[in-house]
Structure 1
Amino acid sequence: MSVAPEKFRVGLVQMCSGRTVAPNVDAACALIRQAAGEGAQYIQTPEMTNILEIDRTRLPDALRPEADDPAIHHFGELARELGVWLHIGSLALLGEAGKPVNRSILFSPAGEIVARYDKIHMFDVDLANGESYRESASYEPGKTAVLAQLPWGGLGMTICYDLRFPHLHRTLAHGGAQFLAVPAAFTRPTGAAHWHTLLRARAIECQCYVFAAAQGGKHEDGRETFGHSLIISPWGEILGEGDVEPGVIVADIDLLRLEQIRQQVPSLRNDRPFDLVKSPPPRQGGAAT
């Protein structure tokens, strides 16, 4: 049995996807090539690599089922050509039931799809600045967490708003994840408030490397995303960070460092089951006796 190398290089692609699929795919491919040229062996693109469209009435006409989607064929060929693990953070596709899905796809260096994950938690929020989103009105949520296998260890696959649900990431870590993927399109207000804090928290509490490729900038459909793609160590250290513009960041991942951290603070092993007991509400109209 071959032993996984102690280090490998990660490359994150930051984009500013528009409303038309073909230019987005071309932009992604150029940046994927750049990341491979900088030595990345695992390359991740952001959520909604192929299209960012807020108008749900326009969305279905632009999408294809996975089996018929030309971008998937193109990305598979590119992974094979470059000999890299290519993780397309997510694509908007037509799901098996005919409703769009927000799907993350991992290609092996042979160009084959080895894992796919449909985003579980839908971004249904009303922000203080007046922005309102109802992802569940456009997309069918997934129902299954996915742990993919890379040559260097387990990769827990999540997407964007999933980041706010720590039990998903803890489950992936207990299932064998050494790395957590969080491709995203965080809004500018929520990103400025919570992006760094949440990603570092997931890395520390799950004792995993976190890879989070992001959308960044002002998009064709009018929304604005935060950018700041991040690579974070299990100790919460930022190993690489983008800004707002499209581009590539790379960092070397040290598996021995991960094992040292898990041995020093074995919080995953220290997890214990517990029960919740609720005290009765205080009595009305009198002081406690």
Structure 2
Amino acid sequence: MTIKVAAIQMCSGVDPEKNVAAMARLVREAAGRGAVYVQTPEMTGAIQKDRNGLMAILRDEQNDIVVKAASVLARELKIHLHVGSTAIALDDGKIANRGFLFGPAGEKICSYDKIHMFDVDLDNGESWRESSVYRPGADARVVDLPFAKLGFAICYDVRFPALFRAEAVAGAQILTVPAAFTRQTGEAHWEILLRARAIENGAFLVAAAQAGKHEDGRETFGHSMIIDPWGRVLASAGGTGEAVVMAELDLSAVKAARDKVPNLKNARDFTLDILPVLAKGGVTV
């Protein structure tokens, strides 16, 4: 089976209504070019580093304008629409960094909460503490769609290969990494991490990204990509501004890659021994 997919690159600001309008315009473009699966980036609804400003625009899932708009778009365009993520208000005062997948009837097929929190201090002085605002998810997701099995992740999750391996073992043929990678970390690691996750799991990978300088002062790396199971970049965008990145995926390539390099089948359980150093510099055996 061959399908056409799209990754939407955005530069979301602090106003959800403007971001929804941009999302709708770009998704319609992708669908008009034949995409049956369209993915938007992490934090499609707003990129807002000021906590008070973010809390002011938050809504719960039932009332979130990104969720409502995506459902309508999916139904109107008869596509599978994957909102990479948007901020959703939770009952305990925290926030979920939550992705959504909608089907061609506008129905919500599933959601996914980002599992790994980006708590780091970068060399350029930037400091990020997602766990101070967001509640991490605890459940991985693989959904069986009419055209493929799809596995979910968000941004920083890409640095945790066990998540992707579990999804591949569960049958995922397309892995997803919607993101808002910082420019600094993106320049160093974005492409190599994406290609590694595709290669080691013999899967297609679709990564829609935020790109450019945002209203809140952040700068994201962009370079949205679609990668095949052999690690080849099928399509990519630049580092700034909006883009619609598209590729045709031949799902038979997943089986072919996994047959050539059957590492999913060949994996074995093992124990790890930590050996003490002997006095003369040797180790125990």
Shorter-chain TM-score bucket reads: over 0.9
- Trace 1:68-147 onto structure 2 (pairs within 5 A): 68-147=63-142
Question: Aligned-pair distance for 1:287?
Answer: 5.2
- In 2, the alpha carbon distance for the partners of 1:204 and 1:287 equals 39
- Gaps of at least 5 residues in structure 2 are none
Deviation of the 1:239 alpha carbon: 0.3
2:265 counterpart SS class: coil
SS in 1 for 2:51: coil
User: For 1:143 and 1:89, how far apart are their aligned partners in 2?
Assistant: 17
1:214-236 CA-to-partner distances (Å, cap 9, x unmatched) read 00000000010000000000100
Aligned pair count reads: 282
In the alignment, which residue of structure 1 is the partner of 2:158? 163
- The equivalent residue for 2:256 is 260
Q: Distance in 1 between matches of 2:224 and 2:129?
A: 24
User: Could you say what secondary structure the match of 1:277 adopts?
Assistant: coil
When the two chains are superposed, the root-mean-square deviation of aligned CA atoms in Å is 1.2
CA deviation string 1:16-49 (max 9, x = no partner) = 0001110001001000000001110000000000
Deviations 1:93-150 (A, max 9, x none): 1024331110000000000000100000001110001111111111111111111222
Pair 1:9-2:42 in alignment: no
Amino acid in structure 2 at the alignment position of 1:68: N
TM-score scaled by length of structure 2: 0.97
One-letter code aligned to 1:254 = D
2:242 maps to what in 1? 246
Aligned AA (1:197): I
Greater alpha carbon shift after TM alignment, 273-282 vs 17-26: 273-282
* 3-state secondary structure, aligned to 1:177: coil
Give, in whole Å, the separation in 1 of the partners of 2:147 and 2:183.
33
Mapped to 1, the partners of 2:98 and 2:200 lie a distance apart of 26
SS of 2:50 mapped into structure 1 = coil
Question: Which segment drifts farther, 69-78 or 166-175?
Answer: 69-78
| Distance in 2 (alpha carbons) for counterparts of 1:258 and 1:146 | 19
Q: 1:280 to 1:109 in 2, by over 3 A?
A: same
Per mean C-alpha deviation after superposition, the further-off stretch among 35-44 and 94-103 is 94-103
Q: Distance in 2 between matches of 1:97 and 1:211?
A: 32
Once residues 249 and 287 of structure 1 are traced to their aligned partners in structure 2, the CA distance between those partners, rounded to angstroms, is: 55
Determine whether 1:21 maps to 2:16: yes
Query: Would you say 1:232 and 2:230 are equivalent positions?
Result: no
| CA shift for structure 1 position 81 | 0.4
Q: Distance in 2 between matches of 1:236 and 1:242?
A: 17
The answer for unaligned runs of 5 or more in structure 1 is 1-5
Shift of 1:278: 1.2
> CA distance change for structure 1 residues 27 and 271 in 2, over 3 Å: closer, same or farther?
same
Of 252, 276, 287, the residue aligned with 2:272 is 276
The runs of 4+ residues in structure 1 deviating greater than 3 Å are 286-289
The two structures have a TM-score, normalised by structure 1, of 0.95
- What is the deviation of 1:57? 2.5
The question of whether the paired residues in 1 share the 8 Å contact of 2:15 and 2:46 is answered with yes
Offset, 1:75: 1.1
Distance change in 2, residues 1:168/1:288 (3 Å): closer
Query: For each residue in 1:71-92, what CA deviation from the matched residue of structure 2 results, as whole angstroms up to 9, or x when unmatched?
Result: 2111101100000000000011
Which residue type is aligned with residue 112 of structure 2?
Y
Judge which range, 46-55 or 96-105, deviates more.
96-105
Name the SS of the counterpart of 2:157 in structure 1: helix
